[in-house]
Structure 1
């Protein structure tokens, strides 16, 4: 288990997220942004204590926690440009859950890294998780906006559907680039360590995610894919990516109790 200060900070952060998710309707937009920014800083402190501890440790729950924090970072930046974005309560709830999971399942120790460059591979992978996760959130918002449009319930100040669509695919394209670099870096590190590329479930699911997202982006560029088909493909690609590391580590750490 993590040392007590990290437990206390994690509990405080999870509680702050939960309170924000509960009280967001009672807060003004300005107060809501400041509250989210404050909890974002607390979450960053939790991540810093966990990731930079000696020895280093990592696992499926810390990976999810970093991913949610990155999604919140993207949302915080975009909400300054597009105040109409409204997903604070959902993201706050995800943040609370992610912090609690990371506290309960802190991952395994890595006392001796095989390569000093290995953290770069992790960073690229988690960054791709975050950007593709942000694209998923935007796709969900896009579905809500489309449903409201069909029912004639669109608010005057709501963010335009086409703007949401552009943001979704820009984030997805950036995530795809980082995912591509992650796969290249994984092969390069295998060569540096004189190891063969291993086609295990993690690699296969990562490649499936890369292919699915690549086909979606190509279809969007060449054929103008959009709507439900595009969103479902995005969810499928993100699902493959989630299972590739977080899913496999969950099975090993929680189900099989193996490092």
Structure 2
């Protein structure tokens, strides 16, 4: 296995982000809310700088940067939500997710992008990564919803700090947003493949990435229809969400992981 070398200026931002993420995750209840929020904001900024460093010089991308961008978007969603729901407590989950993501992107910084690709390609990728972020946020909320339901059954107070119905409503708002973004990404790939990836390199082909993306789209469509038409809630809805998210993860990040890590193909 051959590892690509990350930009050297990525290291300080990665270390700072990992430490600022990791401390709230490890400190638990020993760290008050105000200090935890400040550390998460610091980690969020440092994480963004680490991601931007991949755009300096030859632009790099791969499975780990995709996961890192997804994690950054999940943290962004949490920071915005916490302004509207001050009692929402997920800092340890955000800290753990962010730490793993920034370290993974440092270790596997991806490969340089082809220079012949269209200038519109970053917009296409932005749509896809935004879909990743929305569905990842939905998965985090669904997991917290499942924990809250379990705690309620045991007559315990929910650790998330939010009512169960609020968590469920937020979960499906993220699912809906992700579905719209994923639909736009697939449509763009079908209609503008040549323009995005260069003449003679149309990206729409029946490979593993396309197949898993379509399967995830169908799964999320079934989930949204099931909720609106048949009132799917609770464990059934969460299971379908997990299946769709797993298929979506395999579509790009999974295929790139196989190429970059298992097969060692850096080009």
Q: CA deviation at 1:196?
A: 7.1
RMSD: 1.6
2:222 and 2:94 mapped to 1: Cα distance? 28
Q: Structure 1: which 4+ aligned runs deviate by more than 6 Å?
A: none
The equivalences for 1:88-99 within 5 A come to 88-99=91-102
Report the TM-score, using the length of structure 2 for normalisation: 0.92
Q: Work out the CA distance in 1 between the residues paired with 2:32 and 2:75.
A: 19
Range with bigger deviation, 153-162 or 142-151: 153-162
Aligned length: 258
Match of 1:21 among 25, 45, 52: 25
1:225 match: secondary structure: coil
Determine if contact 2:89/2:161 at 8 Å carries over to the other structure. Answer: no
Q: Among residues 60, 65, 68, which one is paired with 2:63 in the alignment?
A: 60
List alignment gaps of at least 5 residues for structure 1. Answer: none
Which piece of structure 1 moves more, 150-159 or 168-177?
A: 150-159
User: Does residue 254 of structure 2 align to residue 247 of structure 1?
Assistant: yes
Distance (Å, rounded) in 2 between the aligned partners of 1:164 and 1:157: 9
Corresponding position of 2:121:
118
Over 3 Å counting, the alpha-carbon distance change for 1:80 and 1:256 in structure 2 is: same
Corresponding position of 2:210: 203
Query: Displacement, 1:158?
Result: 3.0
TM-score by length of 1: 0.95
CA–CA distance in 2 between the matches of 1:156 and 1:98? 24
- Residue 146 of structure 1: aligned partner: 149
| Alignment of structure 1 residues 210-249 onto 2, 5 Å | 210-249=217-256
Find the aligned partners of 2:27 and 2:82 in 1 and give their Cα distance. Answer: 18
Could you tell me which runs of 5 or more consecutive residues in structure 2 were left unpaired when the two chains were aligned: none
Q: Aligned partners of 2:6 and 2:144: how far apart in 1?
A: 35
Shift of 1:45: 0.8
1:4 aligns with 2:8: yes
